[in-house]
Structures are given as structure tokens and as C-alpha cells.
Amino acid sequence: EPEVTQTPSHQVTQMGQEVILRCVPISNHLYFYWYRQILGQKVEFLVSFYNNEISEKSEIFDDQFSVERPDGSNFTLKIRSTKLEDSAMYFCASSERVQGDSYEQYFGPGTRLTVT
């Protein structure tokens, strides 16, 4: 069964450093998403991406964040200058459509980001 994959599973970085989290969505999916879950808290939407551009973003997704689909398979989240409060689990998701029967978002296993 196709699945969303994410690398690395765990990333440790120092405050102020740039990190890139990588995701490979399901191959026939057109819509891509990033979510964040601070330890013990709820899952929060960051950004959605379609047709090579951001379609929606939350207030969390400030200028420190960017997303890119550098090739036909990868979808990346970059944090330019990490802060301690960026420590969280980051989930990538993809969906075939945004509504209707094939709307379900399939989540990857997550990347745990630890900023020290």
C-alpha cells in the first residue's frame, strides 16, 4: 500500500541553524501539507501546497518557514533559523483531492525535531 515517507525520523539541531525536513508524498497525490505537533499537544496545520504554490497557511507559518517541491517526488519544509519553540513532531501529509471521495489526507510517520 502506498504511503507517505519522511526523513529523517529524528533531527537534532542547534538554535539558529537551518533545517530541512523531507517528505515523499504518495505518487498520484496532488495536494501536500505540513503539520506540527508540540509534545503532548494537538496537531496544528502549518501549510498546504498545490500546483507548486502555497494554497493556504496558518499564522504559525511565518517568514522563518518555507516549502518547496524541488522535484517530482520530494516535498520539503525549511526552517531558516530554528528556535527552541520549533521543537516538535512535524508531519507531512498528502491527498489526492481536497474534497469529495478522495479527500483523505494520508500522514507520514513524522520527523521529530529537537532544537537545543
Partner 1 sequence: AQKVTQAQTEISVVEKEDVTLDCVYETRDTTYYLFWYKQPPSGELVFLIRRNSFDEQNEISGRYSWNFQKSTSSFNFTITASQVVDSAVYFCALSEARGGSYIPTFGRGTSLIVHP
Query: By the criterion CB under 8 A, which residues form the site for partner 1?
Result: 31, 33, 41-45, 48, 50, 55-56, 89, 91, 98-99, 103-110, 112
Q: How far is the CB of 16 from partner 1 (least distance, A)?
A: 26
Nearer to partner 1, 79 or 91 (CB): 91
Pick from 44, 22, 28: nearest CA to 97: 28
Q: What span, in angstroms and rounded, lies between the C-alpha atoms of 33 and 76? A: 10
Q: How far is the CB of 85 from partner 1 (least distance, A)?
A: 18
Nearer to partner 1, 28 or 99 (CB): 99
- Joined together, the cell numbers standing for residue 9 give 525520523
Contact 45, 64 (CB under 8 A): no
